Amino acid sequence: MTITITPAASERMHQFLAQTPGAAGVRFGVKRTGCSGFGYVVDLAQSVGEGDRLVSVDGVPLVVDDKSLPLVDGTVIDFQRQGLNASFVFHNPNATGECGCGESFTVG
């Protein structure tokens, strides 16, 4: 599994983890949603369960479930600020299309 985190994303994830010392890591995966099929999930993982993989990426503990793994393998996670807005941005080589609003993606 290869997931890359930019320095900006790493800094933001470390901030989240510092605010919740008991968290097992940052959960990264996908869920079925939107008009294109899948949306990204970034949240704090309170535990690592069966079917989860825990990997350290640049010192950030990432928890990825086995079902999401083939859909996010190779993804670069960035964190960008634009004006008053800030969000994680995903560059996923597995995505073959996105919906018009950019909230969901399709995998070939």
pLDDT, residue 107, reads 74
CA distance 55 to 49: 13
Give the Cα separation of 9 and 59 in Å (integer): 12
Amino acid at 88: F
Going from the C-alpha of 4 to that of each of 10, 67, 90, 101, the distances in angstroms are: 10, 19, 10, 24
Strand partners, 15: none
Residue 39 or residue 4, greater confidence? 4
Neighbours of 14 (CB within 10 A): 14
Q: Which amino acid is at 2?
A: T
pLDDT in tens, 36-54: 688 889 999 999 999 999 9
Q: Is this structure's pTM higher than 0.75?
A: yes
98, 107 Cβ separation under 8 angstroms = no
The band of 60, judged by pLDDT with boundaries at 50, 70 and 90, is very high
